Amino acid sequence: MSANAANQSSLMAYQELQNLFQRLAHYRHLLALGHWDQAAMMPDGGMQARADAIAELSSLCHAQLCQPQVKDWLAAAEQAELDAWQRANLNEMRRQWQQANLLPAELVKAKSLAGARCEHGWRQQRKQNDWQGFAANLKEVVALSRQEAAIRAEHLGCRRYDALLELYEPGIDCATLDSLFGQMKSWLPGLIQQVLAKQAQEPVIPPQGPFAIAQQRELGLAAMAKLGFDFNHGRLDVSAHPFCGGVPSDVRITTRYSEDDFTQSLMGVIHETGHARYEQGLPKAWAYQPVGEARSMGVHESQSLFFEMQLGRHPAMLEQLQPLMVQAFPQQPALALDNLIRFYTRVQPGFIRVDADEVTYPCHIILRYELEKALIEGEIEVEDIPALWDEKMQAYLGIRTLGNDRQGCMQDIHWTDGSFGYFPSYTLGAIYAAQQAAAVERQLGSLDELIRQQRLGEVFAWLEQHIWSQGCLYSTPELLQRATGESLNASYLEQHLRRRYL
């Protein structure tokens, strides 16, 4: 066979792979909408049928990716003359294929069914503080997750929890996180105490409800518009746990409302808008292909935290949001700008991760990381979680949770479907976001000036150029290096926190 004919044959194999992954993208589109509907719209009685449908479609995706010919296509396509984007796409295809082929189809289906049951039960069990009921379902999820971790670890030649980390943040392992979180534990407790002492001299007035849900929704939509959300390709809804789902051309974000407090839902919407802008900004030329997907969960969290923490809680941004709050709700002293700034930068150790301030937030993540790592490695069992959660909450934040599992170890949705290895992405995202913000300020000027001068478009253009439009063209370390000019540097997060809070 001539060199030209061989290249044509290799390109045909690559085209077969593109066709396959486009088909998978369409299936996953429907899966994403099924999950969104389950969380936001589905009546309780639809749970079993929905769980069966999602499991069936998940199994179909798995079977498509595990067809024998895919291995041959990957081998043949490796010899093709490809450009940088095509080569990166092929690398991502191989990574997804390897991950899928490690797991037997029956394990994929069993894990999907167990996760659906656990998540559905959690909705009521959390409200009722029913740890025993929740634990019964969680044990099955943990058992299946351990099986998955063992299979992946054997293939990768690593420890079990490292194998699950690889699913969410490729290249990050326990050794890296132990070092990173160990460093944070050396300065974070002291910083928390310094900030608490400082803020004890700065009184703040909490907003007093009730705040009508309809007005809260309108306020959230106005904030989304200010932050450039494309409503032609997305929408806002309500769920028990805020999230961003759907697909880039149809992004679904959710929040939750309380008539007693509008402030958390507003920042929740801003947070999810960061996720959504990343999805909406992914390279459209590579839609339906792996290289056109988000790089990692840590990078995804960096965008939501850039929007919420670097922008949303910035005094200059609050100055622009304050008139919208005054327009939405009855006037009261708490809505004065100086009070809102103090309120939104208030540091207070609390039970709930999603409501935590950005100074204490890493403590919530470190706690979860330490527990789920031990759980997957078999060092602890599900029955041990409440007592250990209480022990670590006392050590890190001075709070007791024993007997209060609703506000303790049952508060998150992540473990219900076996998303072990996900939690570290939140604090990695905070570190990435602080480093990106520092790069923005070096290149464009201070965020304070950019916001006050109505130049947010320049900030979004920077993010689109350096993060969003790059998809999976580069690894996370290379993406960060190219965007900021240096490798991962956690000192930017510490600098950001000290500058804002001290």
Contacts of residue 412, defined as CB under 8 A and 6 or more positions apart, other chains included, come to 241, 353, 368
CA-CA distance, 237 to 252, in Å (whole number)?
Answer: 7
318, 341 contact by CB (below 8 A) = yes
Q: Give the integer Cα–Cα distance in Å for 473 and 475.
A: 7
Whole-angstrom CA distances from 402 to 27, 363, 390, 405, 407 are 43, 18, 5, 7, 10
In the block, residue with structure tokens 């608490």: 196
Q: Which of these, 263, 261, 452, lies nearest to 340 by C-alpha position?
A: 263
Element (H, E) at 318: helix 315-328
Predicted local confidence at residue 487, as pLDDT: 87
Question: pLDDT at position 2, please?
Answer: 72
Say whether 272 is catalytic. Answer: yes
Q: Which of 140, 148, 272, 301 is catalytic?
A: 272
Residue ranges of the chain with per-residue pLDDT less than 50: none
Show Cβ contacts of residue 423 under 8 Å, excluding neighbours closer than 6 positions: 365, 368, 369, 372, 414
**Contact yes or no for 169/297 (Cβ under 8 A):** yes
At 1 the pLDDT is 61
Q: What is the pLDDT of residue 171?
A: 82
Pair 416, 119: CB distance under 8 Å: yes
| Percent helix, percent strand, percent coil in the chain, to nearest 5 | 70, 5, 25
pTM of the shown model: 0.90
Of 224, 250, 217, 214, the residue nearest 37 (C-alpha): 250
Q: What's the confidence (pLDDT) of residue 229?
A: 98
Cis peptide before 330 (omega within 30 of 0): no
CB proximity list for 218: less than 8 A, separation 6 or greater: 328
pLDDT in tens, 349-363: 999 998 899 999 999
- Bridge partners (DSSP) listed for residue 245: 252
Instruction: Of 179, 195, 176, give the one whose Cα is nearest residue 360.
Output: 195
If DSSP codes are grouped into helix, strand and coil, which group holds residue 238?
Answer: strand
SS3 70: helix
DSSP symbol at 258: B
Is-contact 396 189, C-beta < 8 A? yes
pLDDT at 103: 87
